[in-house]
Amino acid sequence: MNHQLSIVTTADGSKTIYNAQVGELYHSRNGALQESLHVFVNAGLNYFLDQNDTKEVSILEVGFGTGLNFLLSADACTTKQINLTYTGIEAYPLTAQMMSQTGYDDYTPAELWESYLTHYPAALAGSVNLNGNCQLQIANCKLLDFQSGQQYDIVYFDAFAASRQPEMWDQQAISHVAGFVKPGGVFVTYAITGNLKRMLKSLGFQIEKVPGAAGKREMLRAIKL
Ligand SMILES: C[S@@+](CC[C@H](N)C(=O)[O-])C[C@H]1O[C@@H](n2cnc3c(N)ncnc32)[C@H](O)[C@@H]1O
């Protein structure tokens, strides 16, 4: 993928990246911050923590991108004194310089932000500790090449839209991801389609329709039975 990337401002004032080659933003044009908080932190992480009395949580993200979902999740876990193990899958990692232009330091405690920018290159090569309670690793590979012996409590599925990158939403991709979810674990994504619901149901998930982030009526949460 040839990176033709530029920074743009979304409706809530937070920034995102536009990939001209794919013709797609990294987040909703209706607000990057509100989407990340609504879909991933609230409907994913906070939902899981409300259902499970735990001091440890593991998250797998498909499409790590800028790391906004990671930063907000790490901050939430630090506040709740929960240990977070976070693995991002990213085929086309951004440069640390590009990340430093997102302005996400406005939504992240200074210590976490500094630690993130410092350790980002190392996280692309292996697991790093940030902030004392948070392990971050970024698998620099395509989704279908990602392998792990681990299963995760939560999957954040944040691929580009199916209209732009259909192969990320097909049976092969979704069944590959589904294998990394623990029984009782949660899969969340910003979109919902009949096809996605049918695939996840056939893979042993219970489907929930959840009110969507701004600009979307509904999103999907699925629980592995
Ligand atoms: C919607 S953006 C993710 C935004 C990201 N979660 C964030 O908060 O910035 C989709 C991401 O998927 C990545 N991607 C594209 N094809 C991929 C593939 N085959 N495997 C893994 N990641 C891929 C893109 O490079 C991009 O970073």
Gap from CA of 144 to ligand 1 centroid (Å): 13
How confident is the model at residue 87, as a pLDDT? Answer: 98
CB of 104 within 6 A of ligand 1: the answer is no
Beta carbon of 169 within 6 Å of any ligand 1 atom: no
**Is residue 26 assigned to a domain?**
no
* Ligand 1 binding pocket includes 88 (Cβ within 6 Å): no
Q: Is residue 6 part of a domain?
A: no
Q: Can you tell me which atom of ligand 1 is nearest the CA of 92? A: 25
Percent of the chain with pLDDT over 90: 98
Amino acid at 42: N
Q: 131 falls in which pLDDT band (50, 70, 90)?
A: confident
Looking at residue 2, its pLDDT comes to 46
- Quick check: 219 pLDDT over 70? yes
User: Does the CB atom of residue 158 touch ligand 1 within 6 A?
Assistant: yes
Residue of 160, 167, 180 best suited for mutating to test ligand 1, as the one with most atoms within 8 Å of CB: 160
Q: Ligand 1, from 24, 92, 170: best to mutate by most atoms within 8 Å of Cβ? A: 92
Start-to-end CA distance of the chain, whole Å, equals 36
What separation in Å is there between the alpha carbon of 53 and the centre of ligand 1? Answer: 31
pLDDT at 17: 97
Dihedral Cα 216, 218, 219, 225, nearest 10 deg: 180
In a domain, 146, yes or no: yes
pLDDT digits (tens, 9 = 90+) for 118-129: 999 999 999 999
Separation of CA 158 and ligand 1 centre (Å): 7
- How far apart are the C-alpha atoms of 59 and 158, rounded to whole Å? 13
The 10s digit of each residue's pLDDT in 16-61 is: 999 999 999 999 999 999 999 999 999 999 999 999 999 999 999 9
Q: Does the pLDDT value for residue 1 go beyond 90?
A: no
7 Cα: distance to centroid of ligand 1 (angstroms) = 15
Name the pLDDT band for 185 (thresholds 50, 70, 90).
very high
Mean pLDDT across 143-150: 97
pLDDT at residue 106 is higher than 60: yes
The model scores a pTM over 0.85:
yes
Collect contacts of 193-197 with beta carbons under 8 A, ≥24 apart.
193/162, 193/169, 195/169, 196/169, 196/220
Is residue 16 assigned to a domain? no
Name the domain count of the chain: 1
Which residues make Cβ contacts (< 8 Å) with residue 77, sequence separation at least 6? 45, 57, 83, 84, 133, 134
Domain containing 207 equals 31-224
What is residue 57's predicted lDDT score, i.e. its pLDDT? 98
Whether residue 14 is contained in a domain is answered as no
pLDDT at 108: 96
pLDDT at 92 (0 to 100): 96
- Residue 139 has phi, psi (to 5 degrees) of -85, 110
Question: Does 11 map to a domain?
Answer: no
Token pair of 110, please? 């200074």
Judge whether residue 99 has pLDDT over 50: yes
CATH (domain of 146): 3.40.50.150
4 domain residue, yes or no: no
pLDDT at 3: 64
109 inside domain: yes
- Identify the pLDDT of residue 76: 98
